[in-house]
Amino acid sequence: MTVRVGFLGAGLIATFHSKMLRASGEDVAWAGVWDPDADRRARFAAASGATACDSEEAVLDGCDAVYVCTWTSEHPRLVEAACARGLAVFCEKPLGVDHSTALAMTERVEAAGVIDQVGLVLRYSPAFNLVRDLVADPASGRVMSVVFRDDQFIPVQGSYASTWRGDRTKAGSGTLLEHSIHDLDILEHCVGTVASLSSRSANFHGLDGIEDSVATTLSFTGGGVGVMTSVWHDILERPSLRRVEVFCERLYVVVEEDDWFGPVSWTRVGRPDQQLAGEELVDEVRHRGLDFGNPDGAFVRAVRDGQPAWPRFRDALRAHELVDAVYRSAAAEGRPVTVEPGATGA
């Protein structure tokens, strides 16, 4: 079965998903693409083979599955339109501008019975899947400390050219919601459940409601503690970069340079240091039988086979819950916020 895929939004992230679909080798046909910027949708159409459409409806009427890659405040409306037509839907993160909106969207796709997936793509990262496996090994002992730094030039400029990310009516807020929702999601996925947190935020660019520096301390249910820093700066020479260090009782592991292909380096008690990157890292993850790979290929396979996709909207609710907790703490000048484990996420 050839899956006809449409795109609502034709910017950098839509282009990323289009390229990943092509790399997946799955039986996909590029259907329509719509973007409010006519030049952008024309460029996307020329590069992908999709048909540039003059309306969202034309895209939705001509596909089996749709990617929602617009600014965040438009996600609920477009997901609703996809559900009304019974279409499978891949929605970029964040689902909405806050947890309550994300919850309503989740309930809508579940009521419609459509296949749904959210763009928390780091769950497919070979690097983070290896970290998760190393940390879960009983030989590693308990997680003691995590240091997570995520930096990126503010994406209203440069290769992202996402001017809407400077507008709170479209983006909802800044670096935490728009970028580090990935980080909170992958932290719990790899390390453990967050029990409480305390946060401070700052605004250096003067964009109303768009924080560009956030520091959060975290306590995990297993007893460990962590620090997460998220920053949008103006250093165009630095791409989106993450560095993650995890200290367990008998394991130290670090991810640096590339959050997909590493290197991942680790030290165990009484053993030589190890480091893997690129194809060697992929081979090791495959050898361990871990889930990783191409999230877009996984989505179209789910559509083709009529099976649930992953991660689903409901899986994203926990990250939205954590984001909202960080914002509540920052608004209260760092007051600790308790997060009930598993309240809304999977």
Report whether pLDDT(343) > 90.
no
Report whether pLDDT(346) > 50.
no
Please name every residue paired with 117 in a beta bridge, in sequence order, or none if there are none.
90
Gap between the Cα atoms of 45 and 37, Å rounded:
12
Instruction: Report pLDDT for 184.
Output: 98
Lowest mean pLDDT among 3-7, 160-164, 219-223: 160-164
Instruction: Report pLDDT for 342.
Output: 65
Gap between the Cα atoms of 135 and 191, Å rounded:
7
By C-alpha distance, which of 56, 53, 63, 73 is closest to 29?
A: 63
234-241 contacts at long range (C-beta below 8 A, 24 or more positions apart): 234/153, 234/154, 234/157, 235/153, 236/153, 236/157, 236/158, 238/151, 238/152, 238/153, 239/152, 240/150, 240/151, 240/152, 240/179, 241/150, 241/151, 241/152
Instruction: Report pLDDT for 62.
Output: 97
**Three-class SS of residue 279?**
helix
Instruction: Report pLDDT for 345.
Output: 44
Give per-residue pLDDT as tens, 117-171.
999 999 999 999 999 999 999 999 999 999 999 999 999 999 898 999 999 999 9
Instruction: Report pLDDT for 344.
Output: 53
* Domains of the chain listed by start with CATH number: 3-121 (3.40.50.720), 122-291+319-338 (3.30.360.10)
By C-alpha distance, which of 333, 330, 148 is closest to 231?
A: 148
Considering only the C-alpha atoms of the chain, give the largest distance between any 2 of them, rounded to a whole number of Å: 63
